[in-house]
Amino acid sequence: MFRRFLVLFTFNSISALSSEDELTVPAVRVVRLQVDYPNASIADVHGNHKWNSIMRNSVIASLRFVNKHWLICGNGPNSERPILTDFLNKTLLLRQFRPGNECGKAQVTGEIVGDNYYRINVTFIAERDPIRNVKVEATSTVFAVCQIGLKGGIFQYTNALKALGKPFTMLSFDEAYFCYKGAVLVDGDKCRKEYKLRDHPIIERLCASGSFFNTKSDTCEPCSRGYYQPEPGMNTCIRCPDELTTASKGAVNESFCIPVCPAGFFFDYASRICEPCSLRGYQPESGLDRCIPCPSSTVPIYLNSTRIEHCLEKCFPGWQRSLDGSRCEPCAVGSFKSKEDSVCMLCPSGWTTLNKASKHLNDCSIKICYPGTFLNTSTLQCHPCDYGLYMDEYDGRICKLCPISTTTYQLGMVVTDIDLSINELY
C-alpha cells in the first residue's frame, strides 16, 4: 500500500457549526497504477537525458485522453467544486479544493526492474466509483477503464512510450483514502475532524519518488546529485555507495548511481566504464553520463576535452586538426574527410586512396596492394617488386632497396631476412 502520502487539501472555515459539532466528509481517493514493459530498450532510456520529463508528459497525455471520455481524475485547485453534505438534517455547503481534473497533478515515475524490464508508476487523485462517461449515459470504474485503455494501446499513446515496446496486458492497481491534516479516517473512506477547522489553509505535499519533503521550505525538492529515493512521500534521500554519484538530481533508485568519471570523460551505460568524450565534445565536470557537444562547425581537439575553448574550427575537407590542435594536416593515404566529418575516416577494408587529403568516400577506389607488391600509380595496378627490391607493408607505393651487396631470390619478396648475398650467386 501507499506509504506516507500527504495530500494537498484546503477547507474554508465553517462558522455554522458549534465547537461540539463533529463533521464527517468524504476522504480523498488516491489510486496507483503500475504498467510493466518486459521488452523495453534500457539503453535507449539511459541514452536520453530528458527521459524522465518526456516519459512523465507522455503518461499524463495518456491519462488526459482517457479523462476526456471517462472522468477518472479528481477535481482541481483552479476550480472550486461545491459539495453538499447532509449533517444532522442540515444541508451544509463545503467549498473543497482538489488537484486538477485535467490529470496534470499526477505523480509519474519510472524504474528499471531488469535487463529489459521497465515499470511506470502513476499516482493520482481519482474520482470515486462509479465514474461516468462524458458523452453517453454510462458508468464504470477507474480500474476497468484503465485496464481497457491498456489493452487498447493507451500506454503507447506517444512515440516515447512506443519506444518501450508493448506493455504487459495486466494492469497493477492499488488505492487508498487520505484525510486532511487534523482529521482521522473513519469507515475506510470518510474523514472526521479532530478539532475545529482553521481559517487558514493547511497545505502538505505529496512528494514523488526521487524527491523529498523539505520541512524548512515546506516544499518537495528533488534529491541532490549523489542521492536517490525510491519511495514517494519521504522527507530524506538515500546516499549512493562510496565513490558513486548520480548524473543529475531526482534519482529514483540505486541503479542511477554511477562511478565518478573525471572531467573530460563520461559514464557509458553500455560498457559500464568511464569513456573519453572524444568527438562527442567536452565535459568540464566530473561524475556525469554525457558530454557537451561542441558548437556547430567546430571539433574537439583532445580525446578528453574539458572546456569549450578546446572546440576549434573544423579544417577544410581532406584535412583535420593535428594532435595539439595548432594546425590542419592532410588526411593520410587510405583515409578521407568530407565536409560533414570531424576527423579523417579510414577507407573500407581492402581499399585505399591515390593521394593524401582525399575528400570523399568515392576516392577510396584503389585496391590495397599486399606486401611484396607496390602500386603502379600510372596503371593503378599492383606489381611485384623487382630483384633486389622488397616491400614489407600493405599499400606500398615504392619498393625498398635491399642492403648493399644483397639481392632477392625472386620477384615480389616481402622481407630482407631471406635476401641473398650477391657473392653467393657466383
Residue range 70-86, pLDDT digits in tens: 999 886 333 333 333 33
pLDDT score at 235: 82
Query: Would you state the pLDDT for residue 416?
Result: 52
CATH topology of domain 315-366: Tumor Necrosis Factor Receptor, subunit A; domain 2 (2.10.50)
* DSSP 8-state code for residue 150: H
How much is the average pLDDT of 278-292? 90
Among the CATH numbers 1.10.10, 3.90.1690, 1.20.1050, 2.10.50, which is that of 260-313? 2.10.50
Span 38-51, pLDDT tens digits:
988 888 888 888 88
Amino acid at 283: Q
Mean residue pLDDT across the chain: 80
Q: What's the topology of domain 211-258?
A: Tumor Necrosis Factor Receptor, subunit A; domain 2 (2.10.50)
Q: Which parts of 223-297 are beta strand (E)?
A: 227-228, 238-239, 244-246, 257-259, 265-268, 273-276
Contact 139, 131 (CB under 8 A): yes
Task: Look at residue 1 and tell me whether its pLDDT is greater than 70.
Answer: no
The reported pLDDT for the residue numbered 92 is 33
Which H, E and C letters describe 38-80, residue by residue? Answer: CCCCHHHHHHCCCHHHHHHHHHHHHHHHHHHHECCECCCCCCC
Query: pLDDT: is 192 or 124 the higher one?
Result: 124
Residue 199 pLDDT > 50, yes or no? no
- Return the beta strands (E) in 107-237 as ranges: 107-114, 117-125, 131-132, 139-140, 172-178, 183-186, 190-193, 211-214, 219-222, 227-228
CATH number 3.40.50 is the correct assignment for the domain at 24-76+102-193: no
Confidence at residue 324, expressed as pLDDT on a 0 to 100 scale: 76
DSSP of 327-366, one letter per residue? SEEEPPTTEE--TT-SS-EEPPTTEE-SSSSB-SGGG--E
In DSSP notation, 240-257 reads PPTTEEESSS-B-SGGGE
Alpha-carbon distance 121 to 2, whole Å? 12
For the segment 312-321, the average pLDDT, to the nearest whole number, is 89
Higher-scoring residue by pLDDT: 363, 186: 363
Q: What does the pLDDT look like over 369-426, one tens digit per residue?
A: 999 999 998 899 999 999 889 999 899 999 999 988 888 878 867 775 455 554 444 4
Q: Return the domain boundaries, the chain.
A: 24-76+102-193, 211-258, 260-313, 315-366, 369-425
From the list 377, 381, 383, the residue with the least C-alpha distance to 411 is 383
pTM: 0.41
Which grid coordinates belong to 188? Answer: 475506510
28/65 Cα distance (integer angstroms) = 23
Helix 51-69 vs helix 142-151: crossing angle, to nearest 10: 120
